[in-house]
Amino acid sequence: MTIPTSPRSLWLAGAFISLFTLHAAAQQPPAPLPPGSPLIGRPDNEAAAKLAPVAAPPLPAAPEKLPTAKLKLPPGFNIEVYASGMANARSLALGDKGTVFVGSRLVDKVYAIVDKDGKRTVKVIASGLYRPNGVAFKNGTLYIAELSKISKIDNIEDVLDNPPKPVVIYDNLPKDEAHGWKFIAIGPDNKLYVPVGQPGNNVLHDDAHGQIRRMNLDGSGAEVVAFGVRNSVGFDWNPETKQMYFTDNGRDWMSEDVPQDELNRVTKVGQDFGAPYCYQGNIPDPEFGWGHSCSDYVPPVGLMGPHVAALGMRFYTGNMFPKSYRNDIIVARHGSWNRSKKAGGDVVVVRLNKDGTVNSIEPLITGFLENNNYLGRPVDVLQMKDGSILVSDDWNGAVYRVSYGKQKVASK
């Protein structure tokens, strides 16, 4: 065998090797996505390739940049800034003395909004936490849900200026990042409820996922109350029937228009709501639905729209809004990313029939979505003692107050 040694021969050999290497590299499959990535299952087409979760701004918006002037409500309703400057403001809870507690998902903090002598201030009452999305309050105690544990701070409203570190009461939770952030609330049975989502977009999971649990307020006696739950980030109890209602986000990448997010109702402990085998009550999952019938699962009482990310919800029991709103549900729809034309990004009123099923869905706050871009993204709603409601916005790091009555200029 003759080995080329002339400069031209060496150059040609080097060029051939380089072309071969580039060609081989081009044939290599892309690096695998990390477990739980929302991009797993994305169809291989140009339209889908443009879709991905929308990253929020890294810092809270300055007060003068908040979108209140562009938000629209029905006649007679007003909206103003309640508090701002809270990065990634998410779940809301109300203390006995009027303190509003605010969780976060992307930062390590829990905030307290204190309204005293007509002046409103924001304090950080816990930091160094991991995805402290969920907050709940009962009898002076603040409960905080992180990714894989639930903690409490007793007598929190008495120690807002120097709060102690949260004390863990429950840590038997998975550590998956996908759908790992937790919403929590305390039911009429005086138990703490916490969801555990599927560890990915659409997966067959173990017995520790895809459910809603409840426990005593000290973390003992945990049990599962609902199965087949993909990703719930909001629930509340019907004030008349005491039945639990919860939002649940449908899977991605099936299509732009299905499945829709669900509003579900728990009428007895242990019901199965279908995921990942059936979505929106009537669509068998194309991957996991084989051998399963949607009739085997509890259907939703209402559909909330495709990919709209229906999150926080509260039954309205106040007296400030018109009587027609009483005992209906106010839902924050965070807004879609898994659609070419975004949907949601608003707050809606869910009107119920006498049997507790959904009669209609009507807009309450619109304007967070403009020209297919977000100006804000509502996360949770909270009724105040005067009958007004608060709405958190993690896009802008703000909380808004919605009232009804004499019109007034919104705060900037």
Question: Domain for residue 397, yes or no?
Answer: yes
On the CB side of 201, CA atoms within 13 Å amount to 20
Confidence label for 359 from pLDDT (cuts 50, 70 and 90)? very high
How high is the mean pLDDT of the chain?
93
Taking residues 120-137, report their average pLDDT: 98
Strands 223-227 and 271-272: parallel
Confidence label for 28 from pLDDT (cuts 50, 70 and 90)? low
Residue 33 CA: distances (Å) to CA of 113, 210, 320? 39, 22, 49
Torsion sign across C-alpha atoms 188, 266, 311, 357: negative
Q: Are 401 and 388 in contact (CB under 8 A)?
A: yes
Confidence label for 117 from pLDDT (cuts 50, 70 and 90)? confident
Taking residues 207-218, report their average pLDDT: 98
d(CA 275, CA 300): 12
Taking residues 96-102, report their average pLDDT: 98
Most distant CA atoms of the chain, gap in Å: 96
Provide the CA 262 distance to its chain's centre, in angstroms: 13
Q: What is the pLDDT of residues 163-206, one digit of tens each?
A: 999 999 999 999 999 999 999 999 999 999 999 999 999 999 99
Confidence label for 27 from pLDDT (cuts 50, 70 and 90)? low
Q: Are 305 and 261 in contact (CB under 8 A)?
A: yes
Question: Domain for residue 117, yes or no?
Answer: no
Question: Domain for residue 367, yes or no?
Answer: yes
Judged against a pLDDT cut of 90, whether residue 18 lies above it is answered with no
Domain residues for the domain of 78 are: 54-84+307-412
Q: What is the pLDDT of residue 20?
A: 43
d(CA 110, CA 124): 6
* Short-list 67, 62, 41, CA closest to 52: 41
Provide the CA 249 distance to its chain's centre, in angstroms: 9
Taking residues 66-92, report their average pLDDT: 98
Judged against a pLDDT cut of 50, whether residue 127 lies above it is answered with yes
Q: What is the pLDDT of residue 385?
A: 97
User: What are the tokens at 383?
Assistant: 């009724």
Question: Domain for residue 363, yes or no?
Answer: yes
Q: Are 219 and 240 in contact (CB under 8 A)?
A: no
Taking residues 235-257, report their average pLDDT: 98
| Three-state secondary structure readout of 44-84 | CCHHHHCCCCCCCCCCCCCHHHCHHHHCECCCCEEEEEEEC
Q: Are 356 and 369 in contact (CB under 8 A)?
A: no
Judged against a pLDDT cut of 50, whether residue 4 lies above it is answered with no
Judged against a pLDDT cut of 70, whether residue 14 lies above it is answered with no
Number of domains in the chain: 1
State which amino acid sits at residue 88: N
Q: What is the pLDDT of residues 248-297, one digit of tens each?
A: 999 999 999 999 999 999 999 999 999 999 999 999 999 999 999 999 99
Question: Domain for residue 160, yes or no?
Answer: no
* Short-list 241, 238, 235, 240, CA closest to 214: 235
Question: Domain for residue 343, yes or no?
Answer: yes
Q: Are 77 and 400 in contact (CB under 8 A)?
A: no
18-32, 201-215, 246-260, 373-387: which has the minimum mean pLDDT?
18-32
Other beta carbons less than 10 A from residue 142's beta carbon? 25
On the CB side of 162, CA atoms within 13 Å amount to 0
Q: What is the pLDDT of residues 31-56, one digit of tens each?
A: 889 989 999 999 999 999 999 999 99
Q: What is the pLDDT of residues 129-160, one digit of tens each?
A: 999 999 999 999 999 999 999 999 999 999 99
Q: What is the pLDDT of residue 406?
A: 83
* Short-list 176, 190, 175, CA closest to 143: 190
Q: What is the pLDDT of residue 2?
A: 44
Taking residues 314-325, report their average pLDDT: 98
* Short-list 153, 98, 97, 113, CA closest to 129: 153
Q: What is the pLDDT of residue 253?
A: 97
Question: Domain for residue 335, yes or no?
Answer: yes
Question: Domain for residue 364, yes or no?
Answer: yes
